[in-house]
A and B are shown apart, each in its own frame.
Chain A
Amino acid sequence: SAVISQKPSRDICQRGTSLTIQCQVDSQVTMMFWYRQQPGQSLTLIATANQGSEATYESGFVIDKFPISRPNLTFSTLTVSNMSPEDSSIYLCSAAETGVYEQYFGPGTRLTVT
């Protein structure tokens, strides 16, 4: 199974600023995803990070607010832009290898916006 790391593990940010979260996978993977988990809630898919093309966003999430990059098959970034307290959540990166149906998850980034 893929091993996934995320940086930073947590951060406290001020309203109106932006934070970029990095996700590194220890092997080349076909698919990478970004999820948001609000306190006490389930996971909500933000977008699928596509290598070499724009990310595919889910309903309710837009590129201006959550720009995503995926420059290669092992790395992706998620930026949370112009943050507000409502963006306080855990942000999780996940990956799925070719032919493997389950996703593996990074440890998450705990974001608090004040």
Chain B
Amino acid sequence: AQKVTQAQTEISVVEKEDVTLDCVYETRDTTYYLFWYKQPPSGELVFLIRRNSFDEQNEISGRYSWNFQKSTSSFNFTITASQVVDSAVYFCALRTSYDKVIFGPGTSLSVIP
């Protein structure tokens, strides 16, 4: 069975703090894809990153970084020096060879000025 768990329902941080959003996934497929999406209060889902199962290289993009570890089935997302504009719901998602994307329950991040 495929499953995505985001154990943190809500997180509040003060501006400029670093914050890590956790994502744990389950799949029996050897080929799969992991994603992070951001959903700001406006409601539109914004694609942030994709990771392939065969590429465990971590990635950094500006203040965002992602840590993919197959050994623990985790794909965590860190925001460095958080800003108010980072306030949103963040979804981790999994796509397997059957093309369906399964979304985690989401983590609501509030950055307080």
A binding-site residues for B, Cβ under 8 Å: 1, 31, 33, 41-43, 45, 48, 90, 92, 94, 96, 101-108, 110
Contacts and interface: CB of A to CB of B under 8 A. Distances in A.
Interface string B65-108: 00000000000000000000000000100010001110111100
Contacts of B43: 90, 107-108, 110
Interface stretch (B12-20, B22-30, B44-52, B56-64): B44-52
Task: List the 4 shortest-distance A-B pairs measured between CB atoms, nearest first.
Answer: A105-B45, A43-B103, A101-B33, A107-B44
Interface of B: 33, 35, 37, 42-45, 47, 50, 52, 91, 95, 99-101, 103-106
Contacts of B52: 101
B22 to A, nearest CB: 15
A90 B43 CA distance: 9
B105 A42 contact: yes
A65 B46 CA distance: 28
Contacts, number: 43
A42 B47 contact: no
Contact of A105 (B44, B95, B99, B105): B44
Contact of B45 (A1, A31, A48, A92): A92
27 contacts: A1-B47, A31-B99, A33-B101, A42-B105, A42-B106, A43-B91, A90-B43, A94-B45, A96-B99, A101-B33, A101-B50, A101-B95, A102-B33, A102-B35, A103-B47, A104-B47, A105-B37, A105-B44, A105-B45, A105-B47, A106-B44, A107-B42, A107-B44, A108-B43, A108-B44, A108-B45, A110-B43
A52 to B, nearest CB: 17
